Amino acid sequence: MSAAAEIAVIGGGIGGLATAAFLHRAGLRSTVYEQARELKEVGAGLMAAPNLTRLLRELDALPANAVPLDIGWEFRRWQDGTVLSSEDLRESCRTLYGERTYTLHRADLLAALAAAVPAGTVRLGKRCVSVEVGSRVTLRFEDGSLAEADVVIGADGVHSTVRAALGEPAAPTYSGTCAFRALVPASSAPSLALRPAQTLWIGPGHHLVHYPLSGGRWVNLVAVVPAVGHATESWSATATVEEFLSEFEGWDERLRDLIRASGTPGRWALLDRAPLKRWSHGPVTLLGDAAHPMLPFFGQGAAQSVEDAAVLARCLASASSFTGPEEALRRYEELRRPRTTRLQEASHGRGHVNHLPDGPEQESRDLAFAAGDSLRDNGWIYGYDASRV
């Protein structure tokens, strides 16, 4: 594809900025249109497994305060914290996949990705309201302005304007669960939560994950519980500590102490969406949550957005001037959609496993956890290198 081609990226989140960074490395210019007046991220923490870490290193965008984990997938029983299984992430992860697993604050990652794109790439306060495909693609913004591009990439999240404009609404279904999230200062957290570990507490109908962030300054926690009337899919909705605690009545007191320190926790509904049958229409395509929103049980949402960005940039860079961008976008979708569909489906099924009530099925699950090796069993996720597919 010609270096003079105009590529518009709608959305300046993790996926959108990663796309601009990989396009820049490939010698292609892009403009990122972000509706917010400033670049910022909410949602606190995320896991960077090896498949994400290696791409961030390629962009020189692994935050300096990322926390390398020594222990991961440490499953603990809800009542007393009995360890059901755990994985070595210090040595085994590097041996198997050539990389460590880290935890990152989303704001730190966004800042690192912003530093990887040329100055002037991101235009703030530009909310895209329509996408019209003609000889070129015309973008209309809420402020009345227009822009034209040869290729448009919708990286505008789960409520994507670009996806809707393409006639792919991806109507959600109610998952029956909602999530609490919070950041707890390390000084207020129990010692168990300060270790370089990703710990998952599992129990009837509920689970909670916690891990340190930002060089150990914070502890990130995310809990998934029955929704019971909470259907707002918004990262800005909040709850009270009392509401959060009530969901974990009778659980280990160390976990409840962590919740007590959670300030004003966020709470949002988890809505489910079936995989799209297609992402691209002519010179317009989708990326990240706009293309394949998934439930958070494998912690792969951000990773899949960055993988998309790496593959898409390579496809566009190798496109012939004779075939145009459509063939590049077809190839991108062909390479990416089977993997993201598999992850969507795997994430969908994980909630049931984590939330089994006490009884024979739960006991069988716990025995399987103890005998298994999640790090190796999920090699199809962590061993994937988006720069080489």
Q: Among the options 97, 102, 211, 384, which is catalytic?
A: 211
* Backbone Cα Rg of the chain: 21
Q: Report the C-alpha gap between 280 and 278 in whole angstroms.
A: 6
Residue 386: count of CB within 10 angstroms of its CB: 25
C-alpha span between 292 and 337 (Å, rounded): 8
What letters, b where the CB count within 10 A reaches 16 and e where it falls short, cover 141-159?
beeeeebebbbbbbbbbbe
How many alpha carbons fall within 13 Å on the CB side of residue 204?
8
Q: 174 an active-site residue?
A: no
Short-list 306, 311, 347, CA closest to 330: 311
157 with 288: CB under 8 angstroms?
yes
Give the closest residue to 293 by CA, choosing from 246, 348, 232, 254. Answer: 348
Residues 6+ apart with CB under 8 A from 76: 82, 83, 84, 199, 200, 201, 202, 252
CA angle 281, 282, 287 (to 5 degrees): 55
Enzyme catalytic residues: 211
